[in-house]
Amino acid sequence: RAKARGGGQHCLFNADLAAEHQQKVETEKALTDAVQRDEFLLAFQPQMSLVTGEIVGSEALLRWNHPRDGLRLPMTFIPVAERTGVISELGDWVLGEVAATVGGWYRDGFRGRVAFNISPRQLDRPDFFTRMRQAFRDAGVPLSMIEAEFTETAAMEASDTVLAEIAALRADGATIAIDDFGTGYSNLARLRAMPLDRVKLDPSLIEDIETSDKARVIVQAVIHLIKGVECEVVAEAVETVAQADILRAMGCDTVQGFVFAHPMFEDEFLDWMRSADQGAAKSVA
């Protein structure tokens, strides 16, 4: 009987696997088609210094303009893209689009820095850094206008080869950031040795700082740690003035959040940057 039941489970397992596989194949195809049909867009969100109030940079964030569902946020498709491997095509699209867009801005006299997100999977391809440099060179974008964001775990797991590439990129003027700090694990010795300029605190670290003493103690300790290794601290998803005030008092350098700007598509973003007193010229980091 046990054997029969085991066999039944085995069948069920196979059926589930088949369905899961089918769905994976369909999503993979949908995403690949969407890349080819050019259904993706970048939104840009400004970052503000808590010390001077100046705009010190921005982050490019991926959006899928889905023909049926409308605008879709990364959480609805990036994890699938990572599981299926389509992230390398999507990542290539992002790279090309960032290069083309920032190249255009550069020719228009804009010098602000633009960050973009790199998925851990993209680092598996040995030619990633070569292609990145090529994309920016071809588009006439100086590396000083570019910030590469790696997730905490990707940074911690990076091979020596990848670390050397990151160090070289930084030596050539790019800004290097760790994203979502505080959600993965960090090897503190590794953090010290990383070629690194900025660390972005994960929103989960700061969401309760207005109400929780413990949350404040942890954020303060993390800020000390990051500044102790001579990196800039960026707080993400800052939604209230009270949060920004607490972060400033704790020595956090920079904020990115709805408290002063949402992610915007190119035209709106450029208008926003122009009307912000601290526009283009002063935003050179």
Instruction: Count the alpha carbons within 13 Å of 14 in the hemisphere toward its beta carbon.
Output: 6
Query: Which region among 69-77, 126-134, 234-242, 268-276 touches Mg ion (by CB under 5 A)?
Result: 234-242
Query: Using the rule CB under 6 A, which residue among 172, 258, 274, 284 binds ligand C2E?
Result: 258
Question: Which residue spans within the chain are E strands per DSSP?
Answer: 40-49, 55-66, 70-72, 114-118, 146-151, 175-181, 198-201, 232-236, 254-256, 264-265
- Helices and strands of the chain, counted as H and E runs: 11, 10
**Minimal distance, residue 87 CB to Mg ion, in Å:** 14
257 lies in the binding site for ligand C2E (CB under 6 A): yes
Binding mask 157-196 for ligand C2E (x = CB under 6 A): ----------------------xx----------------
**Residue partners of 189: CB distance under 8 A and separation at least 6:** none
* Secondary structure of residue 231 in the 3-state scheme: coil
- In whole angstroms, the minimum distance from the beta carbon of 59 to Mg ion comes to 6
DSSP 282: G
Q: Which stretch binds Mg ion (CB under 5 A): 116-124, 151-159, 251-259, 276-284?
A: 116-124
Closest Cα partner for 219 from 264, 192, 177, 181?
A: 181
> Pick from Mg ion, ligand C2E, none: which does 263 bind, CB < 5 to 8 A by kind?
ligand C2E
- What tokens appear for 263 in the block? 């992610």
Q: Of the candidates 78, 86, 146, 209, which one interacts with ligand C2E according to CB under 6 A?
A: 78
Q: How far is the CB of 252 from ligand C2E (least distance, A)?
A: 14
Q: Is 165 in the site for Mg ion (CB under 5 A)?
A: no
* CB-based contact 118:78 (threshold 8 Å): no
Least distance to ligand C2E from the beta carbon of 61, Å? Answer: 4
Residues 256-275: x where in contact with Mg ion by CB under 5 A, - otherwise, as a string: --------------------
Q: Give the nearest distance from C-beta 12 to Mg ion in angstroms.
A: 39
Q: Is 147 in the site for ligand C2E (CB under 6 A)?
A: no
Task: Measure the CA–CA gap between 132 and 148, rounded to whole angstroms.
Answer: 10
List the structure tokens of 26: 């369909």
Distance CA 60, CA 221 (A): 29
User: What sign results for the dihedral spanned by CA atoms 72, 76, 82, 86?
Assistant: negative
Minimum Å gap between C-beta 258 and ligand C2E is 3
Assess 180 for contact with Mg ion (CB under 5 A).
yes
Residues that bind Mg ion (CB under 5 A): 117, 149, 179-180, 236
